[in-house]
Amino acid sequence: MTLTDPVVNPAARHRMADMNLFSELHHLVIGSLNDMVAEGALPDGLDFANVAVEPPRDPAHGDMATNAAMVLAKPAGLKPRDIAAGLADKLAADPRIAVAEVAGPGFLNLRLEPAAWHRVVAAALTAGAGFGASRMGQGRKVNVEYVSANPTGPLHVGHTRGAVFGDALASLLDFAGYAVTREYYINDGGAQVDVLARSVYLRYLEALGQQVAFEDGTYPGDYLIPVGEALAEEVGARWVDQPESVWLAEIRDFATMKMMDMIRADLAVLGVEMDVFYSEKSLYGTGRIEEALSELEEQGLIYTGVLEPPKGKTPEDWEPREQTLFRSTAHGDDVDRPIRKSDGSWTYFAPDIAYHYDKIDRGFDELIDVFGADHGGYVKRMKAAVSALSNGRVPLDVKLCQLVKLYKNGAPFKMSKRAGTFVTLRDVVEQVGPDVTRFVMLTRKNDAPLDFDFDKVLEQSKDNPVFYVQYAHARVCSVLRKAAAAGIAVDDAGLAAQDLTGLAHEAEIALAKKIGEWPRLVEIAARHHEPHRVAFYLYELASELHALWNRGNDDPSLRFLQEDAPETSRTKIALIRATAVVISAGLGILGVTPVEEMR
RNA sequence: GGCCCCGUAGCUCAGUGGAUAGAGCAACCGCCUCCUAAGCGGUAGGUCGGAGGUUCGAAUCCUCCCGGGGUCGCCA
């Protein structure tokens, strides 16, 4: 996926209003390069796609750096430093740029005028929660499928991570300009809901006073007791001593409905709200599965055949078997995959194909599936199916969430259904709250395992990133309250209009620069489908604020409230209020509420 | 054995094809008559698992190898 398109794009002017300094300067650089082409300083027909404007790793190299000269040197047949020098002359004429100097092998380092950073602060105050929102997605329709837990019991910790990840990713994409649908696929069509029904039947008998035994192959969980009771209340004793054929279908529907009510409530506790719950069962008997498969059949991708045994390790009960197969290898999979069981019924893969076909049919431009890491082996065949069904038009990105390891006071906390130490989503949220749960779940990349310590996540110290970020926001609010009490106006509109030329100290500019990174970070995180980047950025932003705050200890002129100097105070308050605006926006994407005080 | 993910400071982890690879913890040295010290500054700590390759430039892309985890035809 490429971010933007080239060169003289009329939309470029509008992007200026986004106040993404990086993309602004990128367009400036590209424009200058075009000028150089027009003047004959560069040959025609150069590809500027790899020209980047980025913050250098070492701040000593300035505020921005571009690799333009090094990328273009070879195709242009010129020395990188010569191109850089020519480009530097052009860029130096821009009012935002204080210094443009050639460095190293041909980097062009740019130092910006403080006013450029002041504009960032004002833009944040003006845009408020919308600061950093991007048009990158151009309204493209994205479907994010997540959680999709079997409707057979309460959500557990693993689901919690997927729920938070998927939800934050959806918010991030929304913020980046996509039209997002949050979706949950209910696996209510397979054998596991029959098991659920039998388990509920036992609880039903129990509710009617019978002694029952839970054998293997049933769910013994207490959460089914009220379901059995509710069923007994509704139908009375009429299914006692009746064969399964009489009650199975009805109890299955009843139980699935109850489970989904519970799951919805669990998600609500976490603050997750789906747009669509899509039932697997609704695909059966309606021709939807057949429709999807006939689409594949027309492409010659369905055949009857015998699979080779897995290479290396052959299962003991392996025997050659003829089955209906999907030629997923034609779309990048390693082996073809069965879509029918030997009894003629569908494998789980068949309705999944139909489900994704339906998503494509609903007009989504991109699909994202969030799965647990144990579904890794499923990725290639799903991508193959989507590729085939959409003729390669719709990309599917599958994000795998690794395990969550639980700790209590530094000691591993083993989960066991039998020992009753099964930790549910609700357990976690009730113990530490939705905000902490959500933030902590995003303090690791999705494909890295996550340690979750019930005690450490509640610790109020800088070791706890949740607290650290919240504290930064609270500190700003504290200053605003004090300022208001001193009669200083601190409304955002007024602060946005404040003259900021007084913000000149390097520690103040450093904070403004961090704020300026926000729009760029949003786009990078969205492009990678990685919401954890938002959490890490917020930590860095909070760190800049805490640093500046403490500089006030040594240097009173850096304190935000300056006695008898309300204008100076307002200037400094504009900076930290802009910081709070970004923290608030970032936390909003993560689904975390910013706190105003922490006492 | 095939496929997927991971391997970066003593520990836990960030890192967008860019310059001398970062943060937190732990260790050591400092900072509160002052907006929340629930915080901040500094010192020290690295063959980015290994070897090739692509590139002007690789922790990042490709190949192979080593180590850890996941997964592997009628469970979803």
Q: A264: Cβ under 7 Å from strand B?
A: no
Q: Is the per-residue pLDDT at A564 higher than 90?
A: no
> C-alpha A354: how far from its chain's center?
25
Share of chain A above pLDDT 90, in %: 80
Q: A480: Cβ under 7 Å from strand B?
A: no
Within A 23-52, residues with CB less than 7 Å from strand B: 50, 52
Average pLDDT value for residue range A322-343 = 92
Dihedral sign for Cα atoms in the order A170, A171, A176, A180: positive
pLDDT at A290: 95
3-state secondary structure A231-294: HHHHHCCCCCCCCHHHHHHHHHHHHHHHHHHHHHHHHHHHCCCCCEEEECHHHCCCCHHHHHHH
For A408, the enclosing helix (H) or strand (E) is strand A404-408
Q: A458: Cβ under 7 Å from strand B?
A: no
Q: Is the per-residue pLDDT at A1 higher than 70?
A: no
The span from the first CA to the last CA of chain A, in angstroms, equals 46
Task: State the pLDDT confidence band at A16, using cuts at 50, 70 and 90.
Answer: very low
Inter-residue contact A180 to A169 (CB < 8 Å): no
Reported as a single tens digit per residue, the pLDDT across A376-423 is 999 999 999 999 999 999 999 999 999 999 988 778 877 665 555 678
Q: A516: Cβ under 7 Å from strand B?
A: no
Q: A324: Cβ under 7 Å from strand B?
A: no
Task: State the pLDDT confidence band at A105, using cuts at 50, 70 and 90.
Answer: confident
From the CA of A91, how many Å to the C1' of B22? 30
Inter-residue contact A438 to A164 (CB < 8 Å): yes
- Using the CA of A444, give the nucleotide whose C1' is nearest: B13
Dihedral sign for Cα atoms in the order A17, A113, A25, A61: negative
From the CA of A445, how many Å to the C1' of B8? 15
- Using the CA of A556, give the nucleotide whose C1' is nearest: B34
Within A 158-217, residues with CB less than 7 Å from strand B: 187, 189-192
For A25, the enclosing helix (H) or strand (E) is helix A21-38
From the CA of A524, how many Å to the C1' of B36? 34
CB atoms within 10 A of CB A154: 18
Q: Is the per-residue pLDDT at A9 higher than 90?
A: no
Average pLDDT value for residue range A487-495 = 94
| A85 burial type by CB count under 10 A (0-12 exposed, 13-18 middle, 19+ buried) | middle
Q: A344: Cβ under 7 Å from strand B?
A: no
Q: A312: Cβ under 7 Å from strand B?
A: yes
Q: A316: Cβ under 7 Å from strand B?
A: no
Q: Is the per-residue pLDDT at A7 higher than 60?
A: no
Q: Which amino acid is at A496?
A: A
pLDDT at A321: 84
Q: Is the per-residue pLDDT at A470 higher than 50?
A: yes
State the Cα–Cα distance between residues A319 and A580, nearest whole angstrom: 64
| A192 burial type by CB count under 10 A (0-12 exposed, 13-18 middle, 19+ buried) | middle
- Using the CA of A475, give the nucleotide whose C1' is nearest: B36
Dihedral sign for Cα atoms in the order A242, A282, A186, A350: positive
The 8-class DSSP code of residue A56 comes to -
Q: A236: Cβ under 7 Å from strand B?
A: no
Within A 527-566, residues with CB less than 7 Å from strand B: 528, 530, 532-533, 536, 539, 543, 546-554, 556, 558-561
- Using the CA of A463, give the nucleotide whose C1' is nearest: B24
Reported as a single tens digit per residue, the pLDDT across A181-240 is 999 999 999 889 999 999 999 999 999 999 988 877 888 889 999 999 999 999 999 999
From the CA of A328, how many Å to the C1' of B1? 22
Class assignment of domain A465-590?
A: mainly alpha
Residue with the two structure tokens 């991109």:
A366
Q: A103: Cβ under 7 Å from strand B?
A: yes
Inter-residue contact A564 to A453 (CB < 8 Å): no
Q: What are phi and psi of A432, to 5 degrees?
A: -120, -10
CATH superfamily of A11-112: Arginyl tRNA synthetase N-terminal domain (3.30.1360.70)
Share of chain A above pLDDT 70, in %: 95
Q: A145: Cβ under 7 Å from strand B?
A: no
Helix count and strand count (H, E) for chain A: 19, 15
- Using the CA of A377, give the nucleotide whose C1' is nearest: B71
**A337-338 and A322-326: which strand pairing?**
antiparallel
Protein-proximal positions, strand B, CB < 7 A: 1-6, 12-16, 18-25, 31, 34-41, 55-57, 69-76
**Domains of chain A by residue range:** 11-112, 191-270, 465-590
Inter-residue contact A20 to A519 (CB < 8 Å): yes
Average pLDDT, chain A: 91
Reported as a single tens digit per residue, the pLDDT across A63-82 is 999 999 999 999 999 999 99
Q: A248: Cβ under 7 Å from strand B?
A: no
State the Cα–Cα distance between residues A49 and A31, nearest whole angstrom: 13
Residue with the two structure tokens 């995959």:
A337
Q: A598: Cβ under 7 Å from strand B?
A: yes
**A411-412 and A404-408: which strand pairing?**
antiparallel
- Using the CA of A320, give the nucleotide whose C1' is nearest: B73
Residue with the two structure tokens 């979706």:
A183
Q: Is the per-residue pLDDT at A13 higher than 60?
A: no
pLDDT at A511: 95
Q: A416: Cβ under 7 Å from strand B?
A: no
Q: A445: Cβ under 7 Å from strand B?
A: yes
Q: A280: Cβ under 7 Å from strand B?
A: yes
Task: State the pLDDT confidence band at A320, using cuts at 50, 70 and 90.
Answer: confident
Q: What does the DSSP assignment read for A374-406?
A: GGGGGHHHHHHHHHHHTTT-S-EEEEEEPPEEE
pLDDT at A188: 95
Q: A338: Cβ under 7 Å from strand B?
A: yes
Q: Is the per-residue pLDDT at A461 higher than 50?
A: yes
Q: A571: Cβ under 7 Å from strand B?
A: no
